[in-house]
Amino acid sequence: MLSGIQPTSGSFHLGNYLGAVRQWVALQETHDAFYAVVDLHAITVEQDPVALRENTRVSAAQLLGAGLDPDRCTLFVQSHVPEHAQLAWVMNCFTGFGEASRMTQFKDKSAKQGADRTTVGLFTYPVLMVADILLYQADAVPVGEDQRQHLEITRDLAERFNTRFGQTFTVPEPYIVKETAKIYDLQEPSVKMSKSASSPKGIINLLDDARTSAKKLKSAVTDTDTVIRYDQEKKPGVSNLLSIYSAITGRSVHELEQHFEGKMYGALKTELADAFTEWVTPFQERTRAYLDDPAELDRVLAQGAEKARATASRTLAAVYERVGFLPAK
């Protein structure tokens, strides 16, 4: 299993956690799991070097704070494992220009930025992601719904390469948990919570002061009805809050609907804010402890990179041999 997260802004948001990281923590118990802070992906849009370095540390610390255990999984920084960029180049040469042009995330981002500010790196971003996944022979990739199309191109490229050169790559399946596949913006519950698009009031950053986040949860947009019921189409705001509450507490949405029968939206929001605070406070403490011990964080990441390279280099060697590169003596 492999997955990755960008260190774009310091704090992860609640969508990142519920859509992906929470699954990562659970899956390290049952799978040989590789998890990367994907800093190579982060420079596809403009980054400040000092901030990127800091955000990479903060990202790794949050993953540990969320419960990744370096003895149970391999946690590493993508740029520490050069095989990612190396395999990405090879896979670029098997990707159609039209195929890459159809990626919706690329189309959306490049349309917003304009052609002159859009980098070729952003265009080939999905192919780097393909390399991330295929290097580890991952058969499952835990992600949120917004990554589904990138998983499809990964499968297509793995199959294409295998057909042409013989069995080389495992063809991966997306691992998407339906209930939390898409967490929505608190102020605009028809669009996903997102680092780049959400307004400050619509997004819960995990490292923000818990009181600020509680306030945002309490002022989430709902509707003019009063019934607390899950209905994604007619009641997107309430449904989003129920999904979040259910994921954080482990209580089913059905159970919550019964619990809140006859109660007002205020009750749901207050209880959710309390449950969130109860979860986020120890998360922040654990994250801070890792940030306060940079030597330990470096040790974990060095050990992770070494373990990751052991697997990645094996796959890359097979690929180099198959495409016909002369071995270096």
Active-site residue list: 109, 192, 195
Q: Out of 182, 216, 235, 269, name the contact with ligand TYM by CB under 6 A.
A: 182
* Beta bridge partner(s), residue 13: 205
CA distances from 90 to 94, 136, 316, 321 (A): 7, 16, 10, 12
The kind and range of the H/E element at 36 are strand 34-37
DSSP 8-state symbol, 266: H
The answer to the question of residue 133 lying near ligand TYM (CB under 6 A) is yes
Residue whose entry in the numeric block shows the structure tokens 């000092």: 50
Nearer to ligand TYM by C-beta: 99 or 296?
A: 99
The answer to the question of residue 3 lying near ligand TYM (CB under 6 A) is yes
Nearer to ligand TYM by C-beta: 90 or 261?
A: 90
The answer to the question of residue 59 lying near ligand TYM (CB under 6 A) is no
The answer to the question of residue 6 lying near ligand TYM (CB under 6 A) is yes
Specify the stretch interacting with ligand TYM by CB under 6 A; choose among 25-33, 128-136, 243-251, 276-284. 128-136
What is the crossing angle of helices 125-135 and 294-323, to 10°?
A: 90
Tokens read off for 272: 């959710």
The answer to the question of residue 61 lying near ligand TYM (CB under 6 A) is no
Write the DSSP assignment of 269-313 as a string of letters: HHHHHHHHHHHHHHHHHHHHHHHT-HHHHHHHHHHHHHHHHHHHH
Q: Out of 32, 54, 99, 146, name the contact with ligand TYM by CB under 6 A.
A: 146
The answer to the question of residue 127 lying near ligand TYM (CB under 6 A) is no
CA pair distance 14, 283, nearest whole angstrom: 12
The answer to the question of residue 19 lying near ligand TYM (CB under 6 A) is yes
Contact present, 40 and 8 (Cβ < 8 Å): no
Q: Out of 41, 57, 80, 235, name the contact with ligand TYM by CB under 6 A.
A: 41
Min dist. Cβ of residue 328 to ligand TYM (A):
28
In sequence order, what are the residues at sequence separation of 6 or more whose Cβ sits closer than 8 angstroms to the Cβ of residue 306? Answer: none
Nearer to ligand TYM by C-beta: 188 or 257?
A: 188
Min dist. Cβ of residue 299 to ligand TYM (A):
24
CA pair distance 70, 72, nearest whole angstrom: 5
Nearer to ligand TYM by C-beta: 7 or 70?
A: 7
The answer to the question of residue 4 lying near ligand TYM (CB under 6 A) is yes
The answer to the question of residue 129 lying near ligand TYM (CB under 6 A) is yes
CA Rg, the chain, in Å?
21
What is the crossing angle of helices 265-291 and 210-218, to 10°?
A: 160
Which residues inside 193-252 make contact with ligand TYM, applying CB under 6 A? 193-194
Contact present, 88 and 319 (Cβ < 8 Å): no
Cα 111 → chain centroid: 23
Nearer to ligand TYM by C-beta: 152 or 292?
A: 152
Q: How would you classify the pairing of strands 173-175 and 140-142?
A: parallel
Residue nearest to ligand TYM (CB): 19
Provide the annotated binding site for ATP. 6-8, 15-16, 144-146, 183, 192-196
CA pair distance 149, 152, nearest whole angstrom: 5
Which residues inside 156-175 make contact with ligand TYM, applying CB under 6 A? none
Provide the annotated binding site for L-tryptophan. 132
Min dist. Cβ of residue 92 to ligand TYM (A):
15
Residues that bind ligand TYM (CB under 6 A): 2-6, 15-16, 19-20, 38, 41, 129, 132-133, 141, 143-144, 146-147, 181-183, 192-194
